[in-house]
Structure 1
Amino acid sequence: MSVQTVSPGQSLESAAPRAGVIGLGMIGGGVAVSLARSGRVPTVYDIRPDAADKLAGVPAPVASPAEVARASDVVLVAVVDADQARSVLFGENGVLAGAEPGLIVVLLSTVAVPVVHELAEACAKAGVSLLDCGVTPGDKAAENGLVAILGGEESTVERAMPVLTDFAKRVVHCGPVGAGMATKIARNVITYGSWRAVHEATTLAGAAGVDPEKLITVIEEADPEGATLLSWQRQRLAGIAQPLAAQVVRLLDKDLAAAQELAAQLGLTLPLADVTRAHGAETIGAESGKDA
């Protein structure tokens, strides 16, 4: 298989490697559109015969995942869950039924890390390499706007890179198989945890008579780029947080105590705030005297 390394967004037209996409939902359909826009028109499959009708530049689906594999060097799998991934890879007319040794499967679906290893091991027995590739944000898939979060062997990543850079604005290789999915899952913890924090804060402000829109305005004006979210972790990784850790723990404890007191007066519960205060030293990295 010939491989050509390219910059993001560079047109390849008919150059190898050939790409396939299985699953034409928001992410898979968007990826297919981005590939087509970049000149690498993919072979696609979806259980819905009309799935590509509104996807610019994307051809009609072929008959099976096996047919996608026969026409591709890199197959991108964007299905919903682990069972669907197993079905499209290992079913009677699945990817492995049509795969030649050397095929690369890129799993875009978010599944548990043990499932990634299970799928990778089964693919390897057929001479097929698997990369786990969490992607974010999903709503930018059709605009070459995804960040691709990869796990897998370096040599496999290099061979797949021309396809990856045709749909992703940034490719981050996080480590061996499973590392990409672990990174995506960790990112999701931040996303959903942040949503919970905003929910508790908005509920508290609203119960105190504050228009939630005012809270949003304060946050956006004070922290327009969202830098606060990662500021302390950056300082810890840089090794400059520890001298301030004890002081920050005291501030955390004082400020969250005030939030708990207000919540109690208003008859509210703040479980995330409660847990954060209880584990304040651990959160800040002051319990061990070391940055983490």
Structure 2
Amino acid sequence: MEDYSPIDLRTHQPHSARMYDYLLGGKDHYTVDGEAAEKALASFPMLRTAARENRKFLGRAVRYLVQEAGIRQFIDLGSGLPTAENVHQVAQSVDPDARVVYVDNDPIVLVHGSALLARDARTTVIQGDIREPRAILDHPRTRALIDFALPVGVLAVAVLHFVGDDEDPAGIVRTLAGGVPAGSHFILSHATADIAPEAAMGVQRAYRSQGVPLTLRSRERFTEFFDGLEIVEPGVQVVSDWRATEPEEQRPDHADVSWYGGIGRLAGSAREGAPGSA
């Protein structure tokens, strides 16, 4: 029997996914999310620019994986609310058969995403938390859509900075890498205080004061998340520079972005412990 118990959408407290939607100019957020985002904008007025540049990085990275790395299936962790240039739209613009599993811990993402993707058999959305990577890999809908005998594109874009040091973000990436086959790629991005420390730390304080955990990390700390992976050229970069299509003079200043991104490739033989393995 179907479970029709009501879903607690937690609209009384801000959520990072809905705050990100607000920053990107979306419509799927609540007053509490906009108010929390505005407090962060007061410290870092270019935060909307940073969010847009991160979104553009996601598009370029996914396009690279489909066009150049041959990836045709994706797991997007902390996917957030549907907006323009979603992973499935980018990937399917190159290969209409590309498949995507969207994952987020905000129940509103599940509601909106399920409605949006209801007619697309090549996409699905599940409620899950990046802090429980094994549960995501083993989820029935993940296993129904993803062929773990083939390389997977795993995205953790603008999500690991919401995972505290005590929750071992590098260990989460290692667990995910242990559950996908050789040739899989990881697209990661992360906010930093390296470039504009005063403004960035103000954002961190604003997020935390609203009950949204945010931990900014240095380039060195972020690069550690790629341990065990081959970092794809041009390496870890400010997201606006990673395989940028605009001339340098047309890109925003690094201080207005303050976000790193990169791609790591899992080399070697297939890992033990992948879903469905002996």
- TM-score, normalization by structure 2: 0.36
Higher helix share goes to which structure?
A: 1
Which is greater in Rg? 1
- TM-score, normalization by structure 1: 0.34
State the structure with bigger RCO (CA 8 A, min sep 6), 1 or 2.
2
